[in-house]
């Protein structure tokens, strides 16, 4: 009975918030937003032995976004991702990725992306070009970004915007090309990010 009552109470209190009409892109308040670390995830994918796609994730991202929906080209993005938290389904591989055979996380503890150009490509999409620094190497990377949602957070009421971004890099360009071509050099990047207004 207590569990049923708790579920009913949660439905009554929370459902209206979830029923709010989401903001359209031009309704987003301009200003500075910070990454909601616990709601943001960076994923990479490679093709393993030519048979299957293998994924790994990097939690713990931090960063900022300056945005004005009426002047998207002036937007700026800076994101830092800790290497030490890399996670796969294989603990032995986690250790190997952390080691100097791959990311060398003790020497290069973070990867960082800093935008240099933002181009709006549609009502809810943009192309974001920037410099990706990883393993002591900095290279330009372009991300295809889509707005997935915007509005007040249902619990905190803080204005929040969410994006999905995808891109491709060659890992050998950053000095982490071990096992190429058994494991593909071309690596996909998929980012799901939430930003909260300061």
What tens digit of pLDDT does each residue of 78-89 get?
999 999 889 998
Q: Is residue 182 part of a domain?
A: yes
The count of domains in the chain is: 1
What is the reported pTM? 0.86
The answer to the question of residue 60 being in a domain is yes
**17 in a structural domain:** no
Residue 143 lies in a domain: yes
Q: Give the pair of three-digit tokens for residue 84.
A: 């030490």
Domain of 54, in residue numbers: 24-197
Check residues 115 and 6 and name the one with the higher pLDDT.
115
Question: Over the stretch 123-140, which tens digit does the pLDDT of each residue have?
Answer: 999 999 999 999 999 999
Q: Is residue 79 part of a domain?
A: yes
What is the domain-level CATH number for residue 158?
A: 2.40.128.110
Q: What is the pLDDT of residues 52-88, one digit of tens each?
A: 999 999 999 999 999 999 999 999 999 999 998 899 9
Q: What is the mean pLDDT of residues 139-159?
A: 95
Is there a contact between 86 and 95 (Cβ–Cβ < 8 Å)? Answer: no
């Amino acid at each position: 009975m207590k569990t049923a009552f708790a579920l009913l109470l949660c439905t009554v209190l929370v459902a209206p918030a979830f029923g709010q009409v989401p903001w359209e892109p031009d309704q987003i308040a301009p200003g500075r937003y910070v990454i909601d670390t616990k709601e943001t995830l960076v994923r990479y994918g490679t093709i393993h032995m030519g048979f299957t796609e293998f994924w790994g994730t990097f939690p713990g991202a931090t960063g900022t976004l300056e945005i004005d929906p009426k002047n998207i080209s002036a937007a700026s993005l800076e994101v830092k991702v800790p290497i030490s938290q890399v996670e796969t389904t294989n603990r032995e591989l986690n250790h190997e990725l952390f080691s100097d055979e791959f990311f060398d996380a003790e020497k290069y503890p973070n990867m960082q992306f800093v935008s240099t150009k933002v181009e709006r490509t549609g009502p809810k999409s943009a192309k974001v070009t920037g410099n990706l620094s990883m393993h002591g190497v900095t290279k330009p990377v372009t991300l295809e970004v889509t707005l997935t949602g915007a509005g007040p957070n249902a619990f905190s009421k803080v204005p929040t915007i969410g994006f999905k971004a995808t891109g491709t890099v060659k890992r050998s360009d950053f000095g982490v090309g071990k096992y190429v071509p058994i494991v593909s050099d071309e690596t996909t990047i998929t980012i799901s990010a939430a930003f909260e207004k300061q």
